[in-house]
């Protein structure tokens, strides 16, 4: 089992920190389903230091989130250390440094994946945060800035010397974004050379692929990102070997997530509009999903949205169940 400071994770399956997704309601669902941990989405160190209300909202969490793992981004050791101290005041148990975000508004300030081009500064940031807080610090990187600068081993050595306890790697470069295929062989090489625990990430989108990554690379744990979008059950399938959800279970999860999200956001209209993307993910691959997406984008009333969702998810899943049964019958009859 992966140990991070005084915290030992119960299994190797971790929800990846995702901007706009890894808010408290979704983290709690993932943990309930069996995820061993669920870090926050990336939080600005400067936003924490300056006390921005929006930034502090990212750190709202439940007592069930143990350990509470907070991901911070920034490019300067001093501000990252001060932001880390503020995160501790707001309840952080583990700190993670985002060194992988490819978005220009993050990288142009020397943060996110820009740190891949400067391992020395990456190490200085980790060292400053460790000194300021005494908490376990992890980092999340990509395999390099581009194909000509693959350097995860150099990054691992730099942050390990600075005091990091684990390194998570998305096996794509910054230049790739989310295109192409994650190169798991780079995770394997990092596992062999890294002085600290390695967490794999990238294309572990199904239970089978997540298990395959763990077995093939030897990583200590697997971070699951896009595979969990609209599918928190991936963790119950991995951690407890449960079957995919029934139509009733899917609808109940959607309803719980929607209502929890609305309570978390507070503003009804903003809450509904921000949840629409989750509904698109939940509806993926279900019968009638395209028409459902078009309808969802027009609904701003919670009661109307609940009724629309209940009708769609129950009907779509029931149709799929009937199709699956018909196929099984056909196969049984030869």
The tens digit of pLDDT for each residue in 318-334 reads: 655 555 554 554 555 45
For residues 162 and 299, membership in a common domain is answered with no
For the annotated catalytic residues, the residue numbers are 101
Contact (CB, 8 A) for 55 and 44: yes
What is the residue-averaged pLDDT of the chain?
94
For residues 49 and 117, membership in a common domain is answered with yes
Q: What is the mean pLDDT of residues 94-115?
A: 96
Domain end (from 239, 262, 293): 239
Domain end (from 239, 256, 289): 239
Judged by DSSP in three states, 43 sits in strand
For residues 251 and 225, membership in a common domain is answered with no
Q: Give residue 322's pLDDT.
A: 54
For residues 227 and 312, membership in a common domain is answered with no
For residues 183 and 277, membership in a common domain is answered with no
Q: In Å, how far are 78, 229, 257, 261, 294 from 276, measured between CA atoms?
A: 38, 12, 12, 11, 10
Q: How confident is the model at residue 98 (pLDDT cuts 50, 70, 90)?
A: very high
Q: Give residue 54's pLDDT.
A: 78
Q: Give residue 329's pLDDT.
A: 47
- Residues 238-251 pLDDT 10s: 999 999 998 889 99
Q: What is the mean pLDDT of residues 183-199?
A: 98
Give percent above pLDDT 90 in the chain. 89
Q: What is the mean pLDDT of residues 291-310?
A: 96
- Residues 141-173 pLDDT 10s: 999 999 999 999 999 999 999 999 999 999 999
CA distance 93 to 87: 9
Q: Give residue 328's pLDDT.
A: 53
Centre a 10 Å sphere on the Cβ of residue 6 and count the other Cβ atoms it contains.
10
For residues 47 and 191, membership in a common domain is answered with yes
Which runs of E-coded beta strand occur in 39-91?
Answer: 43-44, 69-73
Q: What is the mean pLDDT of residues 119-137?
A: 98
For residues 119 and 180, membership in a common domain is answered with yes
CA dihedral sign, ordered 314, 316, 317, 318: positive
Give percent above pLDDT 70 in the chain. 95
For residues 274 and 234, membership in a common domain is answered with no
- Residues 16-61 pLDDT 10s: 999 999 999 999 999 999 999 999 999 999 999 998 777 878 999 9
Q: What is the mean pLDDT of residues 204-220?
A: 98
CA distance 231 to 152: 30
For residues 21 and 138, membership in a common domain is answered with yes
Q: What CATH number does the domain containing 163 carry?
A: 3.20.20.70
Range of the domain at 45: 3-239
For residues 234 and 296, membership in a common domain is answered with no
pTM of the model: 0.93
For residues 86 and 155, membership in a common domain is answered with yes
For residues 34 and 124, membership in a common domain is answered with yes
Number of domains observed in the structure of the chain? 2
Structure tokens that stand for 62 in this block: 């439940």
pLDDT above 60: residue 100: yes
Domain end (from 239, 264, 288): 239
């Amino acid at each position: 089992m992966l140990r991070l400071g005084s915290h030992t994770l119960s299994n190797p399956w971790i929800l990846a920190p995702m901007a706009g997704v890894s808010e408290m309601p979704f983290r709690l669902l993932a943990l309930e389903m069996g995820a061993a941990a669920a870090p926050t989405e990336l939080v600005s160190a400067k936003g924490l230091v300056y006390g921005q209300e929006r930034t502090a909202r990212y750190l709202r969490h439940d007592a069930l989130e143990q350990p509470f793992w907070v991901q911070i981004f920034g490019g300067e050791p001093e501000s990252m250390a001060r932001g880390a101290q503020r995160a501790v005041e707001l309840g952080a148990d583990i700190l993670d440094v985002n060194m992988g975000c490819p978005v220009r508004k993050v990288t142009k300030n020397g943060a996110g994946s820009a740190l891949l081009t400067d391992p020395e500064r990456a190490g200085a940031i980790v060292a400053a945060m460790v000194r300021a807080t005494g908490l376990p610090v992890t980092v999340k990187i990509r395999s390099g800035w581009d194909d000509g600068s693959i350097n995860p081993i150099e990054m691992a050595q730099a942050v390990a010397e600075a005091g990091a306890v684990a390194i998570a790697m998305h096996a794509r470069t910054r230049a790739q974004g989310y295109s192409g295929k994650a190169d798991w062989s780079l995770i394997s090489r990092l596992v062999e050379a890294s002085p600290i625990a390695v967490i794999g990430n990238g294309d572990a989108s199904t239970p089978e692929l997540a298990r395959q990554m763990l077995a093939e690379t030897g990583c200590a744990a697997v971070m699951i990102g896009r595979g969990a979008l609209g599918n928190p059950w991936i963790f119950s399938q991995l951690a407890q070997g449960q079957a995919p959800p029934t139509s009733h279970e899917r609808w109940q999860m959607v309803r719980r997530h929607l209502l929890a999200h609305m309570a978390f956001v507070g503003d009804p209209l903003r809450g509904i509009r921000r949840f629409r993307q989750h509904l698109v993910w939940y509806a993926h691959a279900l019968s009638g999903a395209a028409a459902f997406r078009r309808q969802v984008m027009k609904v701003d009333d919670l009661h109307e949205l609940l009724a629309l969702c209940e009708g769609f998810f129950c009907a779509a899943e029931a149709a799929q169940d009937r199709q699956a049964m018909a196929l099984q019958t056909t196969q049984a009859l030869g």
